[in-house]
A and B are shown apart, each in its own frame.
Chain A
Amino acid sequence: MQLDVTPTALSGIAVDLRSIRRVFPGPVTAVDGVDLHIAPGEFVAILGPSGCGKSTLLKIIAGLDIPDSGSVQVAPVRNAHRSIGYVFQDAYLLPWRNVMSNVALPLELIGVTRTERLAAAANAIERVGLADAMARYPAELSGGMRMRVSLARALVTNPSLLLLDEPFAALDEITRQELDEQLHQLWYEKRMTVIFVTHSIIEATFLAQRAVVLTHRPARIVLDHRLELPEMRTAALRIDPQFAGQMRVLFEALERGEEKSV
């Protein structure tokens, strides 16, 4: 059975960007006139060449960066710091804390009681399949495991908006596919809004319900495409002819974006 996620999803939050423009000293225009509406519970991939301003866009959505012009609305936000989870390009764990206490950190900063945050952290760690590694330190983990911990840390507050900035880019292909599948599964069950920034066409096609392709700096939208693929994604989808067709759509858009910016 096929379901369109947009009307049914209630747990996520909506993001509304209007003519976002961000100029860095230089001056370098990173983002120029981006309009984007993301419905609650949508899984959107933002695809663009490296250094095109995708990360800047994500930071603006998270409230970690402020646009020079345009408006950002993230709604409904009751207590913002609980509803947004953010996964960085690298794991960025605190090396002096073990897995458990790294994952519990956001709750600690928010002021959740110890018992409550340890329970939530254990739960998040289990969700990413690291139950055996709770007492270990980041230096003892592989790159893939560290990224999982990072994902668990973002999930620990039960965010209704999950932002990921090329999270698996530094990992090997096999680990990356595994984590993509896990992430998709998490979204499928929880239906939070997910914005996934990547420069990988395969990853964007595999994960997202909708892909937004950006031009090279300054970032503008060349294509906003709803992927014509089943909602439930499994590993086998990657070798499906339909999958290749969708990848082609994104690939051509990326090419067009390159031409425009040159």
Chain B
Amino acid sequence: MSARYFMRHVLPPVVPAIAVTLTAELAVRQGWVPSFLIPAPSQVVASLLRDWPELWGATLDTADASLIGFAMSIAIGSLIAIALSSAPWVQRAFYPYAVFFQTVPIIAIAPLLVIWFGWDRTVVASAFIVSIFPIIANTLTGLLSTDPALRDLFRLYDARRLATLVKLRLPFALPHIMTGLRIGAGLAVIGAIVGEFITGAGIGGSIIVSRQQNRVDKVFAGLLLASLLGIALFMVINLISRLALRHWHASEAGE
């Protein structure tokens, strides 16, 4: 990594993080903010170190549930989008019900999920419900945006529906699909944690318990791990997206 790259790309996001951390540390140590409201960053780090086995185990549980829920969203969401894109009437008839997933207050139905799916599967179900809508919506937009000229080209050679879907419409929708995945990935983690608030597992469970014990430092440690998990997932999707679309634009192809 060159000094120039470091100055341009690494330093800018790091500076505010350091500034906020130092300010928080100072504010708590000086007694400007009571530590039961906001813990000093050093306390959060201390909690991370002390409670590491427990917190790391919780993070793995949350990661596991988020990934399974997210994978289900991708599989089922894409199929729903393909079905919706098959004819305008299908879309008119069923799309409003897909919006349901967008508007459902997940925290309110989480207890229902426990009844329906049991404790173990509630977290996965919650991650799934929250992350499926952006995947359906973006994939559908992508599938419907196929260039008419390219569709004519495929018609000219009597391409079958399946061939048109696999060789034209899905790849053409890829940039949109990737947008859906990027949004869905973050939401899957949020959905999992909301589910865990009810079931008591993972980071969500740990946050609830820590709050009851007035361990604000441990709540923050959980929050930190949850957001790191979301960021990691986001970066993986970005990498996949870059690889999948590397030929689309000269700027990415040439380098």
Chain A residues engaging chain B, CB cutoff 8 angstroms: 59, 62-64, 80-81, 84, 86, 88-90, 92, 94-96, 98, 105-106, 108-110, 137-140, 157
Give A79's nearest chain B residue, CB to CB: B158
Partner of B168, one of A88, A89, A90, A94: A94
Q: Mask for B157-187, Cβ within 8 A of A = 1, else 0? A: 1110001000110011010000000000000
| Chain A to chain B contacts (Cβ below 8 Å), 11 pairs | A62-B152, A81-B158, A88-B152, A88-B153, A94-B167, A95-B248, A105-B167, A109-B154, A109-B157, A109-B159, A139-B249
Shortest A159–chain B CB gap in Å is 10
Partner of A139, one of B154, B159, B171, B253: B253
Q: Is the CB of A92 within 8 A of B149?
A: yes
Question: Does chain A have a CB within 8 A of B247?
Answer: yes
Shortest B254–chain A CB gap in Å is 7
Tell me the complex Cα distance, A90–B174, Å: 21
Q: Is the CB of A92 within 8 A of B174?
A: no
Chain B residues engaging chain A, CB cutoff 8 angstroms: 147, 149-150, 152-159, 163, 167-168, 171-172, 174, 245, 247-250, 253-254
Shortest B161–chain A CB gap in Å is 12
Partner of B247, one of A64, A84, A108, A137: A137
Shortest Cβ-Cβ A-B pairs, 6 listed: A109-B157, A137-B247, A139-B250, A109-B159, A95-B248, A81-B158
Residues of B within 8 A of A80 (CB): 158
Shortest A30–chain B CB gap in Å is 16
Residues of A within 8 A of B171 (CB): 94, 96
Q: Is the CB of A140 within 8 A of B157?
A: no
Across chains A and B, the number of contacting residue pairs, with CB separation under 8 Å, is 61
Given A92-B147, A95-B248, A96-B174: A137 touches B253 (CB 8 Å cut-off): yes
B interface: dominant SS:
helix
Partner of B149, one of A88, A95, A137: A88
Residues of A within 8 A of B149 (CB): 88-90, 92
Q: Is the CB of B156 within 8 A of A92?
A: no
Tell me the complex Cα distance, A109–B254, Å: 30
Residues of A within 8 A of B254 (CB): 140
Tell me the complex Cα distance, A186–B17, Å: 65
Residues of B within 8 A of A139 (CB): 247-250, 253
Give A59's nearest chain B residue, CB to CB: B152
Tell me the complex Cα distance, A139–B249, Å: 6
Tell me the complex Cα distance, A7–B33, Å: 97
Shortest A238–chain B CB gap in Å is 30
Q: Is the CB of B174 within 8 A of A109?
A: no
Given A94-B171, A96-B248: A84 touches B150 (CB 8 Å cut-off): no
Q: Is the CB of B253 within 8 A of A86?
A: no
Partner of A140, one of B147, B154, B156, B250: B250
Tell me the complex Cα distance, A199–B247, Å: 33
Q: Is the CB of B250 within 8 A of A81?
A: no
Tell me the complex Cα distance, A62–B248, Å: 29
